[in-house]
Structure 1
Amino acid sequence: MLLITRDKYLNDLIARMGNGMVKVITGPRRCGKTFLLFDLFEAHLRAQGVDNDHIIEIALDDMSYAEYRNPVQLFEYLKSRITSRTEQYYVLLDEVQYAISDEELRGEEPPRLYEVLNGLLHMRNVDVYVTGSNSKMLSTDVMTQFRGRGDEVRVRPLSFAEFMQVYDGDVQHGWAEYVVFGGMPLTLSMHTDEQKSRYLENLFTETYLKDIVARNKLRKSQELDDLTNVLASSIGALTNPNRIKATFDSVLHSKISTRTIVQYIDYLEDAFVIEEARRYDVKGRKYIGSPKKYYFEDIGLRNARLGFRQVEQTHIMENIVYNELRMRGYNVDVGIVEQRGTRNGESYRKYLEVDFVANLGSQRYYIQSAYQLPTEEKIAQEKASLLGVDDSFKKIVLVRDVVKPTRDDHGILTMSVYDFLLNPNSLEA
């Protein structure tokens, strides 16, 4: 069995032990949340001397625990296991959305699961950890319900560095594999491209899309399927619901409404299929509304959705860089830099794009995902927007080739995407 340590997420949990909050582990289905909680974190607890009776684990998506999907029965069971008021207990609940009814998911009733978790919070000797695959229910609703007593740990598919922990080959061959099949952990145990392709295609259709259809009571799924394909085809491109509607009208001959498109995009985000990156006016220091960019949380699932027919290296590398920055905890926007000048006696104004403006606390980085810089013209093109940024934060160009990190006369750093992805401190170098 391949063991991927996932140290970042394990350390995130360890750092939150005993903080008096519900630790909410969110992320897409099959990305490794259960393994993190029931294997890696449990192993840590046992290494700290915690015995089995004080670790209460329930996998609510397992039919063996179906009776505990009823919040009342779940709470009664947990109380029966917590037999001391002084000894420390750890409650680990996996896929807690199974303990929420359809009426609660639609907002027609207050979720009773929160009453269970709130009751556990009042037991000072109980430390609570839950996982789930619905961002609205967990990331938003839990934080609202507990008013500062919910603490989210966001888990993602394998990063390139995690993937390379167990990949049997050099970094270039690893990259070639990763840009096609992505970072869903189970693919690493498969031996043929056919197995991986079929697994990812089925996972997207039979798990992700069916979950969205069932959870949101959609009567037909064709428009959701079509929208997913449109978004998968346009990673790295600015778009908005009106543009998507125009595509539906002209190409798909569908009369889907803009409102429905917005709603379906929300459903895909709630299921951790996609994330949005907003545009940010660097000089004006303000956000610009529509259009936005959408990136897939796992590039393998994105490729599978398109039948592995659109594996464009430039856009895929951009998506992978975005995911890496988000995994490291950065808020990531698409930067816009206004450029003004005079040409042939006439003034002009144009906007240049910085692929990513990454912010974390007081840190900020401007990053271009360039793939290749074969000519001086291409180098100038990729650096133009960075040269238009007039602050002192670090500016970086990432290329796919193996290159030694170098800075030009303007202080712009060019480095290999491999160095960026494999070194967690690469941005600080």
Structure 2
Amino acid sequence: MEIRRDRYLKKLIRKRNNGLIKVITGIRRCGKSYLLFSLYYDYLINDGVPEDCIISVPLDDDDYVEYCDPQKLNEYIKSRMTDSKKHYYVFIDEAQYAITTKEMKDPDVPIRLYGVLNGLLRKKNVDVYVTGSNSKFLSSDIMTEFRGRGDEIHIAPLSFSEYFPVSGKDKYDAWQDYLFYGGLPHILAEPDNESKEVYLDRLNSEIYMRDIVERYDIRDVDALDSLMRVIASAIGSLSNPLRISDTFKSNGYKSISIPTISNYLKYLTESFIIQKAERYDIKGRKYIGTPLKYYYTDLGLRNALLNFRQFEETHLMENAIYNELIYRGYKVDVGVVDLRVNESGKRIHKQLEVDFVVNQGSKRYYIQSAYALPNQEKIEQEQASLIKIPDSFKKIIITGGNTPVWRNDYGITIMGLFDFMLNEDSLDY
């Protein structure tokens, strides 16, 4: 089964030979290697690049473990570049394996891999691509070390528009599977539901948990596991370390300090397992800070953490909409509308929430996620915050199912979930 990742493939093609190191980031098993080593490799071959000019080094493969030493990696790549008149493409997969824990944790320790990559950039006949499953490998460190020569392409698990055409099911059944088992590409190859659940359980315990524990030298593994479950239970809810600490106490979990919770949250976001949406004061045009919302990058991993027992479609739909917006390249915040209202003869302060404030360049959209709009009362409830926003940017309510797109008397667009998820231009309808 071939899954086309055309959005990402086109980005790589546009960035080809641009003089920068292309850094492909994303959660483990989301398809980074497939994008680079299969789709992009095939594109280069079909475009006339000789096979011996593509140097592939998958550092998570036992056959290449010796090249996790940056010096040996450098020697190997140079040994393959035998003709100065040829143009070479270097693919390094899971590059964080060439960075030691000490290098990762201590900002005063130089990361030797960066020197290798910078050395390759100085050669005019080399185009370099690396993948990584941890944003600490990219973030401020890599941009500093590459001196503005790093170019990130972040990829996610399959969007529903990528998942549905190869699922072999109608869109309703495909959607239920997508919410339950997520969009990691290998899920589509598993033969039955039991196999899917086993696969996701194994990824959580053997890949993601182990990666974080080893990378950050975590001693209290049970505490990290408990935190992941708390966040998984609270997707779409406002959270901060203090609230999470209180949740631990009220649910009988072992007590974890607030600084430790903050560090664990940082590790989970750096590993792309969760993503955070900050709160934005729409009228005041400023960020509020904590609390904020956390969403899981893949819903299947989230559900597996909870033993597939908490299937609240309202929250899962909100998480899926957030992931879709990120996939399309938008910046996404949680909106807050501050109001002064009269209640029982008193002037009180009130805050209304907008699920998503969505930005891209000069474009902005305000979006509410509503699983169902069964009556006018529910419509009024969902649109209350949107009506109070004092600007003319587009306001949208996305509701479950296949509701036709329409616009009400307040100028608010109401569209069905499938119209939104399956059409990348849906926000501009």
Identify the TM-score tier after normalising by the shorter chain: over 0.9
**In the aligned structure 1, how far is the partner of 2:151 from the partner of 2:165?**
28
The residue type equivalent to 1:67 in the other structure is E
Match of 2:127 in 1: 127
The residue type equivalent to 2:138 in the other structure is L
Instruction: Please report how far the alpha carbon of residue 346 of structure 1 lies from its aligned counterpart in structure 2 after TM superposition.
Output: 1.7
Match of 2:99 in 1: 100
Could you tell me whether the CA contact under 8 Å between 2:26 and 2:155 is conserved in 1? yes
Instruction: Please report how far the alpha carbon of residue 159 of structure 1 lies from its aligned counterpart in structure 2 after TM superposition.
Output: 0.5
Q: Percent identity?
A: 53
Gaps of 5+ in 1: none
Match of 2:22 in 1: 23
SS in 2 for 1:260: helix
Instruction: Please report how far the alpha carbon of residue 144 of structure 1 lies from its aligned counterpart in structure 2 after TM superposition.
Output: 2.1
Could you tell me whether the CA contact under 8 Å between 2:403 and 2:417 is conserved in 1? no
Could you tell me whether the CA contact under 8 Å between 2:59 and 2:65 is conserved in 1? yes
The residue type equivalent to 1:314 in the other structure is T
Once the two structures are superposed, the pairs formed by residues 329-408 of structure 1 within 5 Å of their partners are 329-408=329-408
Higher mean alpha-carbon deviation, 346-355 vs 34-43, is at: 346-355
Could you tell me whether the CA contact under 8 Å between 1:4 and 1:165 is conserved in 2? no
Moved over 3 A (4+): none
The residue type equivalent to 2:402 in the other structure is V
**In the aligned structure 2, how far is the partner of 1:263 from the partner of 1:249?**
18
Could you tell me whether the CA contact under 8 Å between 1:139 and 1:152 is conserved in 2? no
* Correspondence 1:262 to 2:244: no
Match of 1:295 in 2: 295
**In the aligned structure 2, how far is the partner of 1:150 from the partner of 1:61?**
22
Match of 2:76 in 1: 77
**In the aligned structure 2, how far is the partner of 1:239 from the partner of 1:109?**
34
Structure 1 length normalisation: TM-score?
Answer: 0.98
SS in 2 for 1:395: strand
Higher mean alpha-carbon deviation, 249-258 vs 272-281, is at: 249-258
The residue type equivalent to 2:199 in the other structure is Y
Tell me the matched-pair count: 428
**In the aligned structure 2, how far is the partner of 1:200 from the partner of 1:253?**
24
**In the aligned structure 2, how far is the partner of 1:416 from the partner of 1:311?**
21
**In the aligned structure 2, how far is the partner of 1:137 from the partner of 1:86?**
32
Deviations 1:37-85 (A, max 9, x none): 0000000001110011111011000011111111111111111111233
* Correspondence 1:419 to 2:422: no
Gaps of 5+ in 2: none
* Correspondence 1:210 to 2:213: no
Deviations 1:363-385 (A, max 9, x none): 11100000100111110000000
The residue type equivalent to 2:46 in the other structure is A
Match of 2:51 in 1: 52
* Correspondence 1:61 to 2:57: no
Once the two structures are superposed, the pairs formed by residues 189-338 of structure 1 within 5 Å of their partners are 189-338=189-338
**In the aligned structure 2, how far is the partner of 1:272 from the partner of 1:302?**
13
**In the aligned structure 2, how far is the partner of 1:119 from the partner of 1:196?**
43
Instruction: Please report how far the alpha carbon of residue 231 of structure 1 lies from its aligned counterpart in structure 2 after TM superposition.
Output: 0.1
**In the aligned structure 2, how far is the partner of 1:172 from the partner of 1:276?**
28
* Correspondence 1:39 to 2:47: no
Instruction: Please report how far the alpha carbon of residue 253 of structure 1 lies from its aligned counterpart in structure 2 after TM superposition.
Output: 4.3
Match of 2:148 in 1: 148
Once the two structures are superposed, the pairs formed by residues 103-182 of structure 1 within 5 Å of their partners are 103-107=102-106, 109-182=109-182
Instruction: Please report how far the alpha carbon of residue 401 of structure 1 lies from its aligned counterpart in structure 2 after TM superposition.
Output: 2.0
Instruction: Please report how far the alpha carbon of residue 86 of structure 1 lies from its aligned counterpart in structure 2 after TM superposition.
Output: 3.3
The residue type equivalent to 2:72 in the other structure is Q
SS in 2 for 1:252: coil
**In the aligned structure 2, how far is the partner of 1:15 from the partner of 1:32?**
19
Aligned-CA RMSD value: 1.0
Could you tell me whether the CA contact under 8 Å between 1:354 and 1:385 is conserved in 2? yes
The residue type equivalent to 1:6 in the other structure is R
